[in-house]
Structure 1
Amino acid sequence: MNLTQIEAFCTVADTGSVSEAARQLECNRTKLSMSIKALEKDLDVALFVRSGNNLVLSEAGKAIYKDSQNLLVTASRIRQTCAQVCGEFNAEIWIARDDSLPDELWQDLSHRLNNRFPATAFNIVLASSGDLTNLVATSQVDFAFGVDYERIDDPLITFQPLGKIRLMSVCRSSNPLAHLRRVSDDELRKAMQAVMVYLNEKDNPELQPFSLRHIGFSSFDYMLNTILEEDAWGVLPEPLIRHLLRKQDLAVIKHTYGLTQEDYCMFTSSGMAEHPGMSWLADKLNEYLFDF
């Protein structure tokens, strides 16, 4: 049994296909099949059974799947730790963030990060809150920062809460919903809602539309513009809208779930050693949220 065989096993289990696993691992299909067979021979069990055109885990395969994932995570962590000891941090880091915190804050932190760690190139991309976990899990980015709507038990992802962020159901102050002493579920369902949408294939119940009529965006800022320009309502993070609440351009809807709290997190691959720049950035975001 070796790590190549374990990686082949986990990838086939995740994809249900030797061909797709070979494509993801960028290896020969025959070589990958031989790795699986060698692992099955070594363990003296069948790890997969065929179901239609797909391979599914046998009972033995199900029993060892999580431990196999943990083996890969541990091996990756060992490699990263050795690189860290040698001072060989990534020369380039990809970061995804949502826009729950003001752009001005991110612009300031981005410039300071670049000046503080000039040997590393930082690429920062904007993404929907609902896609952050998936972007890290699929290695499209190295780190992600944003609202954590649905923490899942995934050995591949580490969730580090940096602080609480308050989410508010709001509408324009002139919207009829703003003048109701208590807004019912039925009244909200009839009103146009601006909602968060995302590309991740996993359903997230907390991001599902509440209203019968809705328009979706991958950005809180686009949601905000729609709420201000149309008779719509939506759930937005307080740091993004506090100034508009103070100016009374926006009003909090008096509904049961008008105010909620979520964790603002740093999402990291479990095998990824934390770059000192990311530790610095996490500390600054923690300070901002604490002061806020």
Structure 2
Amino acid sequence: MNLSQIEAFCIVADTGSVSEAARQLECNRTKLSMAIKALEKDLGTDLFIRSGNNLILSEAGKAIYKDGQDMLVTAARIRQTCAQVTGEFNAEIWIARDDSLPDVLWQDLSHRLNNQFPATSFNIVLASSGDLTNLVATSQVDFAFGVDYERTDDPHINFQPLGKIRLMSVCRTSHPLAKLRRVSDDELRKAMQAVMVYLNEKDNPELQPFSLRHIGFSSFDYMLSTILEEDAWGVLPEPLIRHLLRNQSLSVIKHTYGLTQEDYCMFTASGMAEHPGMSWLADKLNEYLFDF
């Protein structure tokens, strides 16, 4: 038994397909199948029930799956610790963030972060809120910050809530919905909605459109522009729109849809040692959300 075999087992279990697992691992399908068979031979039991091209975990496979995931997390933690001790740890950090908080805040924090930790290079990319966990889980970025739409029991991801964000149903003040003292479900469904969409394939009821007509964007800022310029409504984070509510460019729709609070989180891979720069950034975001 070795880590390559355990990794092959876990990814095939997650995908249910040797072909898809091989694509994700960027390896040969035959080599992956051989790794699974070698692990089964070593353990003396079948880990999968094979049905055509689909593989389903056997009872033995279900019993060891979590232990396999734990082994991979522990191995990642060991590698991170050794890299840190040898001075090779995170000379460059990739960060994904959504646009639920104002750009001016991120510009200020990114400049201060760079000055506070000059020995580390920081790359900050904009992503859809719904894609943040997937970007961390697939190691496309090291850390991510944003509204948590995908909270799941994922052994690969640590979720650290930094504060609460209120999401509000809004429209342009001149929109007919803004003039109603009470908005019915039918009236809301008939109006054009600007909605959040993302590439992650998981279905998320919180992001399903309410209206019969809708247009989707991967950015709150694009949603906001559409709401301000077109005859549309949408659910937006309060930090992004407070100034527009105050100057009455936007109005809150008098309907319960979207009037919720969500966690604003830092997402990290399990086993990833936290860089001091990320601790500093998390503290600053926590202070901002607490004072907001």
- Asked if the contact 1:252–1:258 (Cα under 8 Å) also holds between the matched residues in 2, the reply is no
Does residue 92 in structure 1 map to residue 88 in structure 2? no
- Asked if the contact 2:47–2:59 (Cα under 8 Å) also holds between the matched residues in 1, the reply is yes
CA distance in 2, matches of 1:192, 1:27: 45
Secondary structure of the corresponding residue to residue 200 of structure 1: coil
1:138 paired residue number: 138
1:119-138 matched pairs, under 5 angstroms:
119-138=119-138
CA distance in 2, matches of 1:125, 1:82: 27
- Asked if the contact 2:11–2:21 (Cα under 8 Å) also holds between the matched residues in 1, the reply is yes
CA distance in 2, matches of 1:222, 1:108: 22
In structure 2, the CA distance between the partners of 1:20 and 1:191, relative to structure 1 (3 Å rule), is: closer
Between 74-83 and 43-52, report the one with greater CA deviation. 74-83
In structure 2, the CA distance between the partners of 1:29 and 1:150, relative to structure 1 (3 Å rule), is: closer
- Asked if the contact 2:133–2:150 (Cα under 8 Å) also holds between the matched residues in 1, the reply is no
In structure 2, the CA distance between the partners of 1:172 and 1:28, relative to structure 1 (3 Å rule), is: closer
- Asked if the contact 2:244–2:250 (Cα under 8 Å) also holds between the matched residues in 1, the reply is yes
User: What 5-or-longer segments of structure 2 have no aligned partner?
Assistant: none
- Asked if the contact 1:158–1:268 (Cα under 8 Å) also holds between the matched residues in 2, the reply is yes
- Asked if the contact 1:148–1:265 (Cα under 8 Å) also holds between the matched residues in 2, the reply is yes
- Asked if the contact 1:195–1:234 (Cα under 8 Å) also holds between the matched residues in 2, the reply is yes
Between 125-134 and 17-26, report the one with greater CA deviation. 17-26
Shift of the alpha carbon at 1:43?
1.6
- Asked if the contact 2:220–2:236 (Cα under 8 Å) also holds between the matched residues in 1, the reply is yes
Shift of the alpha carbon at 1:86?
4.2
TM-score, structure 1 normalization: 0.95
Shift of the alpha carbon at 1:90?
1.2
Shift of the alpha carbon at 1:157?
0.5
CA distance in 2, matches of 1:222, 1:26: 34
TM-score, structure 2 normalization: 0.95
CA distance in 2, matches of 1:33, 1:284: 47
1:234 paired residue number: 234
In structure 2, the CA distance between the partners of 1:28 and 1:231, relative to structure 1 (3 Å rule), is: closer
* 1:261-286 Cα distance to aligned partner (Å, 9 max, x none): 00000011112111111111111111
CA distance in 2, matches of 1:200, 1:271: 23
- Asked if the contact 1:162–1:285 (Cα under 8 Å) also holds between the matched residues in 2, the reply is yes
Misfit runs of 4+, over 6 Å: none
Shift of the alpha carbon at 1:83?
2.8
Secondary structure of the corresponding residue to residue 46 of structure 1: coil
In structure 2, the CA distance between the partners of 1:47 and 1:258, relative to structure 1 (3 Å rule), is: closer
Secondary structure of the corresponding residue to residue 36 of structure 1: helix
Shift of the alpha carbon at 1:18?
3.1
Secondary structure of the corresponding residue to residue 168 of structure 2: strand
* 1:85-138 Cα distance to aligned partner (Å, 9 max, x none): 444321211111100000001111111111221222111111111111111111
1:281 paired residue number: 281
In structure 2, the CA distance between the partners of 1:280 and 1:105, relative to structure 1 (3 Å rule), is: same
- Asked if the contact 1:148–1:263 (Cα under 8 Å) also holds between the matched residues in 2, the reply is yes
Shift of the alpha carbon at 1:52?
1.7
* 1:3-28 Cα distance to aligned partner (Å, 9 max, x none): 22211211222233334434433444
1:102-113 matched pairs, under 5 angstroms:
102-113=102-113
User: What 5-or-longer segments of structure 1 have no aligned partner?
Assistant: none
* 1:176-220 Cα distance to aligned partner (Å, 9 max, x none): 111111111111001110100111111111011000011111111
- Asked if the contact 1:97–1:145 (Cα under 8 Å) also holds between the matched residues in 2, the reply is yes
* 1:42-61 Cα distance to aligned partner (Å, 9 max, x none): 22110112222222222211
Secondary structure of the corresponding residue to residue 68 of structure 2: helix
- Asked if the contact 1:99–1:221 (Cα under 8 Å) also holds between the matched residues in 2, the reply is yes
* Alignment RMSD (CA, Å): 1.5
1:102-181 matched pairs, under 5 angstroms:
102-181=102-181
Shift of the alpha carbon at 1:30?
4.2
Shift of the alpha carbon at 1:289?
0.5
Between 174-183 and 31-40, report the one with greater CA deviation. 31-40
Between 8-17 and 161-170, report the one with greater CA deviation. 8-17
Between 19-28 and 52-61, report the one with greater CA deviation. 19-28
Between 60-69 and 194-203, report the one with greater CA deviation. 60-69
Between 21-30 and 96-105, report the one with greater CA deviation. 21-30
Secondary structure of the corresponding residue to residue 264 of structure 1: strand
CA distance in 2, matches of 1:220, 1:34: 46
Secondary structure of the corresponding residue to residue 160 of structure 2: strand
In structure 2, the CA distance between the partners of 1:3 and 1:110, relative to structure 1 (3 Å rule), is: same
